[in-house]
Amino acid sequence: MNTWLEPRYTAWIWHGFAMTLALSACVIVGATLLGFGLALARSAPYATVRRAAAAYVLIFRNSPLIVQLLFWYFGAAALMPESVMSWLNTPHALTLGPLTLGWPSFEFLAGWIGLTCYATTFIGEEFRAGLRGVRDGQHQAAAALGLTRFAAFRYVILPQAVRIATPPLAGQYMNIVKNSSLTMAIGLAELSYSSRQVETETLKTFQSFGMATLLYIATIATIEIALLLRQRNGAHGARSARGAHATRRGPRMNAPDWLPILRYLLLGTFPYGPLGGVALTVVLTLASASLSALLGLAGGVALAMTRGIAHIVLLTVVGLFRAIPVLMLIFWTFFLMPVLLHADVPGLATVVCALALIGGAYLSHSVQAGIVAIGDGQWQAALSLGMTRGQALRYVLLPQAVRVMTPSFVNQWVSLIKDTSLAYIVGVPEFTFLANQVNNRLMVYPAQIFLFVGLVYLVLCCTFQWAVTRVLSARFETPR
């Protein structure tokens, strides 16, 4: 019995991988250019421009990417004229000698627009941080040399800002590659979609998902290596100059018609059936956030306290979870946990497990950075008072580290709220899953439905961010 995949199935996966690379490259180019413009707008001297840029960041950063993709795929098609949708879904080609360029599918366009709009907010903030990281003395020195404001920005400020922003930008480019897996929700045959199709055809879970996972890891590792090479060269002073589905708007529904739908979106079929909708999203968030905090604290302490081989093994494990897309990890836990435990595992539990592992991996590095930032003096002071290393870590180091890294904890937990929407892929009836059910039943209100979903996620993220910040600040407030 052949345990590996037949050539035609491996060709499917390679085709999906090529689609992932093409989409990621297009998104990286678009998001980098738009992100740079967004960073300039965030620092513009005009208040109206700054507020508009801040509103863009608030909206797109605090709504799940999968909801944005569903809006661009279903909602935009409903809002655009039928003639435009007909043109977009008609094959076009441009011939340049021996080269023929085909017009991308609507799935590709929707994925590109959605991913670009989402990634622009994060890349823009990284550019903004880089610009703010350039010392004021550099501005003054450029002015003293008689450079104009544009020349000073072009030749003095911008090169330093790009150098400062390069490491976090590389992290955002890795996220773009991993987030491209979400376009399978709108039917784009990228790597995750292709591996799922191969698994369905062959029932070879390990081989199909394993090959896709290795390709994701190889891509992320390539970006990591490119970053390391650039940083090393910099240290030595080296420089270098979307079927057609256009729908018409239906008649406006009366308010009472929306009430059962609203209740379904908020609670699912509860109390006559299982909990779902927004309520289940909140439960998913709280469970995965709690587990990720425990894993992050344990992992961060271990990273800070271990040395040698144990430290390298821990770094490898944490890096592995950070390199796998959330969607792919959900697939792994969804299919592997029942096999490993020899029992039926609810889809809800597998999603919580995947989100906790991802969140714990990121928080481990945050906790480690917080402990390192405290300094050896706090260790020495605690040990000189007769504390054991465990007591010093618990009562002295960790409270300060958590206080220092509160923004990182808040950012990761807000990301967990948005990542709960990925449970939609494995049939968990959370908010996005039920919203898509409602959209498939009504068919005429995709824009309104997904705009409402995005608004609810925005409220959830902002509320959770405010509450967690208040709780952590009160719990770990510096004594006066």
Q: Both 333 and 220 in a single domain?
A: no
Over the stretch 391-437, which tens digit does the pLDDT of each residue have?
887 788 878 877 767 777 777 888 888 888 888 778 888 888 888 88
| 55: pLDDT strictly greater than 50 | yes
How deeply is 184 buried, as exposed, middle or buried, from its count of CB atoms within 10 A (0-12, 13-18, 19+)?
buried
Range of the domain at 459: 255-475
Q: Which of 80-89, 261-270, 404-413 has the highest mean pLDDT?
A: 261-270
SS (H, E, C) 224-249: HHHHHHHHHHHHCCCCCCCCCCCCCC
Residue 117 lies in a domain: yes
Q: Both 36 and 163 in a single domain?
A: yes
If pLDDT is split at 50, 70 and 90, which confidence band does 28 have?
very high
Q: What is the mean pLDDT of residues 375-393?
A: 80
Q: What is the mean pLDDT of residues 280-301?
A: 91
Structure tokens at 458: 């925005």
* Residue type, position 83, single letter: S
Residue 248 lies in a domain: no
Res 475: pLDDT = 64
Q: Both 357 and 470 in a single domain?
A: yes
Residue 249 lies in a domain: no
**Number of domain units in the chain:** 2
Q: Both 213 and 268 in a single domain?
A: no
Q: What is the mean pLDDT of residues 209-226?
A: 87
Res 246: pLDDT = 42
Residue 61 lies in a domain: yes
169 versus 148: the higher-pLDDT residue is 169
Residue 480 lies in a domain: no
Q: Both 291 and 230 in a single domain?
A: no
Q: Both 211 and 308 in a single domain?
A: no
Q: Both 299 and 199 in a single domain?
A: no
Q: Both 278 and 352 in a single domain?
A: yes
H or E element, residue 94: strand 93-96
Q: Both 210 and 300 in a single domain?
A: no
Residues 6+ away with beta carbon under 8 Å from 83: none
Q: Both 277 and 335 in a single domain?
A: yes
Residue 296 lies in a domain: yes
Res 183: pLDDT = 92
Structure tokens at 249: 């708007």
Is 403 in contact with 462 (CB distance < 8 Å)?
no
DSSP 430: B
Q: Both 90 and 132 in a single domain?
A: yes
- The closest of 365, 373, 356 to 315, measured between CA atoms, is 365
Res 95: pLDDT = 64
Structure tokens at 464: 């959770």
- Give bridge partners of residue 95 from the DSSP assignment: 100
Q: Which of 227-231, 298-302, 331-335, 441-445 has the highest mean pLDDT?
A: 298-302
Res 305: pLDDT = 83
Residue 66 lies in a domain: yes
10 versus 62: the higher-pLDDT residue is 10
Over the stretch 239-255, which tens digit does the pLDDT of each residue have?
443 344 444 444 454 44
Structure tokens at 337: 């946990």
* Residue type, position 174, single letter: M
How deeply is 229 buried, as exposed, middle or buried, from its count of CB atoms within 10 A (0-12, 13-18, 19+)?
exposed
Kindly report the CATH number assigned to the domain that includes residue 432: 1.10.3720.10
Residues 6+ away with beta carbon under 8 Å from 246: 77, 78, 80, 82, 85, 86, 89
